[in-house]
Amino acid sequence: MKKGKLSLQAIIIIFVCIVVALSLGITDLIISKRITNSVEATQKEKALNIAKMIAFSPQVMGAFDGKVKKEEVEILTNQIKDKTHVHFIVVMDMKGIRLSHPDPSKVGKHFRGGDEGPVLHGKEYVSISKGTLGRSMRAFTPIKNSHGKQVGAVAVGISLENVTKAVHKGRMGIVIGTLIGILIGVIGAVGLARYIKKILLGLEPFAIAKLLEERSSMLQSVREGIIAIDKTGKITLVNRAASKLFKRAGLVENPLGMNIGEYLPEARLTHIIESGETELDQEQNLNGVTILVNSVPVVVGNEPLGAIASFRDKTEVQLLAEQLTGVRNYADALRAQAHEFRNKLHVILGLVRTEQYDTLANYVSETVNQRETEMSFVTKKIQDPVLAGFLIGKLSFARESGASLSFDCPSKLPMPASSEITHELITIIGNLLDNAMEAIAGSSNKKVDLRLDYAEDILTIEVKDTGMGMTKSLQNRILDKGFSTKGETRGFGLYLSAQAIERLEGEMIVSSKPGKGTNFAVYIPYKAEDERND
């Protein structure tokens, strides 16, 4: 964790504690206010009920009529005070003179507090005032005789300290509940924080943000186009290279949120999700732009979450392949020529040491003439220098390996209208020759014939070998991707040749018999450069 940044667990705990504390605090204030009002209302009602009970008691009414001694009133009020736990009960006449009081010395004296005036005028009410026994809540009720005439009043007091204690007692439950709620909130926050961190693989939010930025930068910086969809087929990711390629194809540059089936009908990403299989090096067409696509499903915990495809313009791949092919052919040719030259030097050295100078002269002359004749024939018949250099390299390689490779081209082969044709021809001829050279490896007569014939815009390519040949069942499978009788990681040469022939809209015929060799005949539409200019 970076210095100065709180962990996710600490943030969640602090946040939950603050929310719980605020919520319970506000709740405490609201409920406490209601409890206070409720307690006060209960105490008021209690005081008024006691005051009314005293006002309507026969002893009190009889005392004002002269039928009951006033001392009995004091005894009655003190008994009721003790039973009901009120602060005081005072009975007074219309002049405010007390007929009863908890302190006998106060009997016969004027009522204290200054809030008795309204009750002497017939009003029933509750007030708060300070008397001889301190501040109290006072309930006043008038006393009326049997004729309805007011003859006095009753004051019942409840100590404000008792009211406060009642309110405090009522709030204690809320305080305890608040503390328990905060404790439960903390425990829940810790559990939630641990669960979320487990889901995030132990990463903190700032680490996830940094990781996301790095991954986004990486995806945007690669040259291959990348597009991803979720399991519903909605496009969720398009990098910069993909947007540029879509723009070239005349499509919407930023298709985020669109359905892949509507945006790229030929894309097989939804099929990838359903099948769960990976598809590599598949050709697709985007409004005339051919791309090579690698598609893989995205699976987490055996559940398909979507699919992702990376793709690149086939033209760029072909240019790169041409460069690599040219370098490889050049290296093969140099290696073959070096070996061939070293062998000839050994011959020359032997003739010199044996002093056979006439034979040496003839050998050197024949070697030079053969080399010049071979190169002159190839370059004269093949006007494309890339293809010509490729064939010269193959001829040298065949001699090095001890095989006889003959080349025939009755008619001149002009420059192709597109360099793409050269690349495809190198793929076709190179793989057919390599296959033929491998086929004659175990044969006593190691001979391969290559013939190129161009007429009426059709190029015919024939490759014959004197190998072991093939059965009919093998002939039906040799063009399958990955099929080979030579072991694993093989079986791609003839497949690539077949793909190249298909792209050039040509056809290939295979004829072979066990023990009698194999013949590949390829027919390809070939447009010359001068025809393109016309």
How do residues 141-193 score in pLDDT, each as one tens digit? 998 887 888 889 999 988 777 667 766 776 677 777 777 877 887 788 788 87
Quick one: average pLDDT of 494-523?
87
Which run of H or of E encompasses 161?
Answer: helix 160-199
- Specify the CATH superfamily of domain 356-533: Histidine kinase-like ATPase, C-terminal domain (3.30.565.10)
Give the start-to-end residue ranges of the domains of the chain. Answer: 11-166, 225-313, 356-533
CATH of the structural domain 225-313, one choice from 3.30.450.20, 3.90.420.10, 2.70.150.10, 3.40.50.11540: 3.30.450.20
Rounded distance, CA 226 to CA 312, Å?
Answer: 9
Rounded distance, CA 19 to CA 185, Å?
Answer: 9
- Give the dihedral sign, CA 311/314/320/326: positive
- Under 8 Å between Cβ of 278 and 301: no
Rounded distance, CA 488 to CA 33, Å?
Answer: 85
54-58, 473-477, 479-483: the lowest-pLDDT one: 479-483
Rounded distance, CA 331 to CA 517, Å?
Answer: 30
In this model, does residue 391 exceed pLDDT 80? Answer: yes
Contact partners, residue 171, CB within 8 Å, separation at least 6: 28, 32, 35
* Residue spans of beta strands (DSSP E) within 55-199: 88-93, 125-131, 134-144, 150-159
Q: Is domain 11-166 annotated with CATH 3.40.50.300?
A: no
* Cβ neighbours, 10 Å, residue 439: 20
Does this model's pTM top 0.85? My answer is no
Rounded distance, CA 396 to CA 8, Å?
Answer: 69
- Under 8 Å between Cβ of 497 and 431: yes
In this model, does residue 3 exceed pLDDT 60? Answer: no
Centroid of chain to Cα 475:
48
- Under 8 Å between Cβ of 283 and 314: yes
- Give pLDDT tens digits for 121-152: 889 988 877 766 667 788 999 988 878 888 89
pLDDT of res. 332? 58
For β-strands 518-525 and 458-465, DSSP reports them as antiparallel
Whole-Å CA distances, 367 to 345, 370, 372, 449: 11, 5, 9, 22
- Give pLDDT tens digits for 269-328: 888 887 888 888 777 777 767 777 888 888 877 788 888 888 877 666 555 555 455 445
Please choose, from the candidates 29, 326, 13, 344, the residue with its C-alpha nearest in 3D space to the C-alpha of residue 174. 29
- Under 8 Å between Cβ of 400 and 442: no
Residue ranges of alpha helices (H) inside 382-525 are: 385-400, 419-439, 472-475, 493-503
Comparing 11-166 with 225-313, is the CATH topology the same?
yes
